[in-house]
């Protein structure tokens, strides 16, 4: 049901050291079937070909989740949790690095801040998590709808009410302290202004949470997950 069978393995590390992995989570406003793990075919190839080593010292995967309106929140998030936990177990991943675009970034943020600490799969994921890359994401539904009222056409399909989306000012209390957060945004994004990413930056600053930002011209919204500069940024930050 959670679509684990649609997980894509872009590259499996041959390193004899601990198993490090990058896992991509796609966007698509919770509703668009044209967005899949294969959104990252080009970025995965860039990570492989531009690595400073002849063979990357990390595996690269992409996971899937069910879409609205067939399902509603929190099903998307629960699918991500289930599929990540199964991937970690089956591939024996020691270090987990997540890269999410648009709603994929939203799902990572929700995973970081989800209150259900009793959830064994969530605990497993958090115990392996190292870096999280949040690219051109949505971090406040109420703020999003103030800026873009027409976006209610997809928000209303994914959420019964926007109050179901946890307030980031409270949810930051649940972020694992060891997690490195990277907020990425393209100046040329035509679907999301910098307002969402700046909103999250302010929340993290208020909580004195460590994070990094990468603002650049990375093309339009759906260019970001194919951009060579993004691959370079991931490779550079994975070294430290």
Q: What is the DSSP string of the chain?
A: ---GGG-EEEE----SS--EEEEEE--STTT-TT--GGGGHHHHHHHHHS-SSSS-SSEEEEE----TTTS-TTHHHHHHHHHHHHHHHHTT-SEEEEEEETHHHHHHHHHHH-S-TT-HHHHHHHHHEEEEEEES----HHHHHHH-GGGHHHHHHH-S-GGGSPPHHHHGGGS-TTPEEEEEEETT-SSS-THHHHHHHHHHHHTT--EEEEEE---SGGGGGG-HHHHHHHHHHHT-
Mean pLDDT to the nearest integer, 24-53? 94
Whole-angstrom distance, CA of residue 183 vs CA of residue 57: 23
Q: 185 an active-site residue?
A: no
Tell me, rounded to whole angstroms, the distance of Cα 59 from its chain centroid.
16
State pTM to two decimals: 0.95
Pairing relationship of beta strands 8-11 and 59-63 according to DSSP bridges: antiparallel
Q: Do 25 and 100 form a contact (C-beta atoms < 8 A)?
A: yes
Q: Is the pLDDT of residue 23 over 80?
A: yes
CA nearest neighbour of 59 among 97, 25, 89, 26: 97
pLDDT, residue 116, reads 65
What's the CATH code of the domain at 127?
3.40.50.1820
Catalytic residue among 59, 102, 140, 171: 102
Task: Please tell me the total count of domains within the chain.
Answer: 1
pLDDT, residue 239, reads 83
Residues 20-44 as b or e (16 or more Cβ within 10 Å = b): bbbbbbbbbbbbeeebebebbbebb
pLDDT in tens, 183-211: 999 999 999 999 999 999 998 998 888 99
Mean pLDDT to the nearest integer, 18-23? 97
Mean residue pLDDT of the chain comes to 92
Q: Is the pLDDT of residue 38 over 80?
A: yes
Roughly how many angstroms between the first and final C-alpha of the chain, as a whole number? 37
| Domain interval for residue 95 | 4-238
Q: Is the pLDDT of residue 118 over 60?
A: no
Residues 108-129 as b or e (16 or more Cβ within 10 Å = b): bbbbbbbeeeebebbebbbebb
Q: 120 an active-site residue?
A: no
Strand partners, 62: 8, 24
Q: 102 an active-site residue?
A: yes
Q: Do 81 and 121 form a contact (C-beta atoms < 8 A)?
A: yes
Catalytic residue among 73, 182, 221, 227: 221
Query: Residues of the chain with pLDDT > 70: what percent?
Result: 93
Tell me, rounded to whole angstroms, the distance of Cα 169 from its chain centroid.
19
Phi/psi-derived region of residue 122, left when phi > 0, alpha when psi is between -120 and 50, beta in every other case? alpha
């Amino acid at each position: 049901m959670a679509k684990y069978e649609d997980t894509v393995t872009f590259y499996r590390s041959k390193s004899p050291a601990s198993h490090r992995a990058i896992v991509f989570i796609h966007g698509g406003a919770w509703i668009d079937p044209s967005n899949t793990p294969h959104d990252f075919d080009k970025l995965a190839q860039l990570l492989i070909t531009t690595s400073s080593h002849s063979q990357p010292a990390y595996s690269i995967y992409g996971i899937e989740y069910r879409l609205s309106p067939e399902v509603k929140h929190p099903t998307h998030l629960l699918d991500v949790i289930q599929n990540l936990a199964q991937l970690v177990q089956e591939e024996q991943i020691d270090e987990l690095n997540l890269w999410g675009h648009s709603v994929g970034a939203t799902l990572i943020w929700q995973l970081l801040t989800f209150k259900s600490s009793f959830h064994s799969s969530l605990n497993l994921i958090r115990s392996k998590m190292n870096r999280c890359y949040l690219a051109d994401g949505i971090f406040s539904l109420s703020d999003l709808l103030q800026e873009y009222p027409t976006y209610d056409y997809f928000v209303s399909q994914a959420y019964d009410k926007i109050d179901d989306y946890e307030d980031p000012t409270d949810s930051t209390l649940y972020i694992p302290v060891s997690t490195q957060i990277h907020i990425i945004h393209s100046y040329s994004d035509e679907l999301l202004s910098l307002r969402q990413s700046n909103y999250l930056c302010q929340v993290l600053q208020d909580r004195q949470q460590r994070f990094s930002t990468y603002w650049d011209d990375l093309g339009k919204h759906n260019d970001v997950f194919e951009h060579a500069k993004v691959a370079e940024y991931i490779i550079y930050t994975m070294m430290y």
